[in-house]
Amino acid sequence: MKPVLLLAALGLAAATLPAHAGNGYCPPGLAKKSPACIPPGQAKKFQRGPRIGDRISDYHYHLIRYPDRYDLPPLRRGERYYVIDGQILRVDQDTYEILDFIRAAASLLD
């Protein structure tokens, strides 16, 4: 007996079937995620641009030498501001690790 007929014979609603995704099926919880039907560990591969914890050496970046031109708060020792993909980032000076996203930069003033 086909699975759909079996479910109907058992009185189960068709809504309990997993969502269709490409050649296979995915559970309803993953069907609601973005991107749909991608496990959380794999979803990071679909994100674009830098993320907190990334190293800026993997991206084209611009050092902000004059943070006061952008009305940015003072930095702690060992931190610098950089612009990557139009975003102002706070970065560790020694490891080049992205610590925080500040805001979008309309234009470069340096």
Mean pLDDT of the chain: 74
pLDDT computed for residue 17 by the predictor: 44
pLDDT computed for residue 18 by the predictor: 45
pLDDT computed for residue 34 by the predictor: 62
In this prediction the pTM is 0.54
Sequence spans of domains, the chain = 3-46, 56-104
At 5-57, the pLDDT tens digits run: 544 555 544 444 444 444 466 777 776 666 667 776 666 555 567 788 888 88
Q: Judge whether 51 and 67 are in contact, CB under 8 Å.
A: no
HEC states along 61-103?
CEECCCHHHHCCCCCCCCEEEEEECCEEEEEECCCCEEEEEEE
